[in-house]
Amino acid sequence: MICVPTIMHSGTHVLRYRVLKPFMDDMVKFHLTECDRFKRELDELPIFTSLRHPRRIMESYRRRAELKRKTRYPHDRATLDWQFRELIDNISKRSPLYLHVDDECKHIEVDVMEEFLGRPLGRDFSVSLETNARCGTHDVDIDDCPEVPQEYIDFYYGTMM
């Protein structure tokens, strides 16, 4: 069993349904808004999580908020802050393996995951509706995305291989 907590719109579908596909039946998956429900799993299982540049995540939230669909959690700055606090203050202290889906280091990160898990993983990083790419922020220039706290950006770059 593995644990896959992620920030909403951080590359969740690429990690869960493409890279870790061989583990679909052995995966506890949830967004970081729900950490309280999965404390035991976080304590006992190896953790894998995805990351995108925080400004791209915020841009994805902005675009989804414009769609005005009802969602469990709003696509706003408070939800992003809540999830980054969980990632920085809680998850990162548990030695997770990260997948930076928008960066070339993802290939090295999958190598490390394969070595850790002892079996081959998926390497299809293409963008499609299957990976929930409805709002198309994968190729948006960072400078065109909303500002986020520098702490999130520093954390993002600090977790890269």
pLDDT tens digits, one per residue of 43-84: 999 999 999 999 999 998 888 888 777 777 788 889 999 999
Backbone CA torsion sign across 33, 86, 110, 112: negative
Read off the pLDDT of residues 96-138 as tens digits, 9 standing for 90 and up: 999 999 899 999 999 999 999 999 999 988 776 555 555 667 7
Question: 76, exposed or middle or buried, with CB in 10 Å at 0-12, 13-18, 19+?
Answer: middle
| Residues 6+ away with beta carbon under 8 Å from 157 | none
| Residue position matching structure tokens 């960072």 | 142
Question: What is the pLDDT averaged over residues 16-29?
Answer: 94
Q: How confident is the model at residue 32 (pLDDT cuts 50, 70, 90)?
A: very high
Q: Tell me the C-alpha distance between 100 and 109, whole Å.
A: 8
Domain ranges of the chain: 2-158
| Residue position matching structure tokens 């898990």 | 117
Backbone CA torsion sign across 20, 33, 103, 3: negative
What's the CA dihedral at 30, 68, 144, 135 to 10 degrees? 60
pLDDT in the model for residue 65: 82
Entry pTM: 0.91
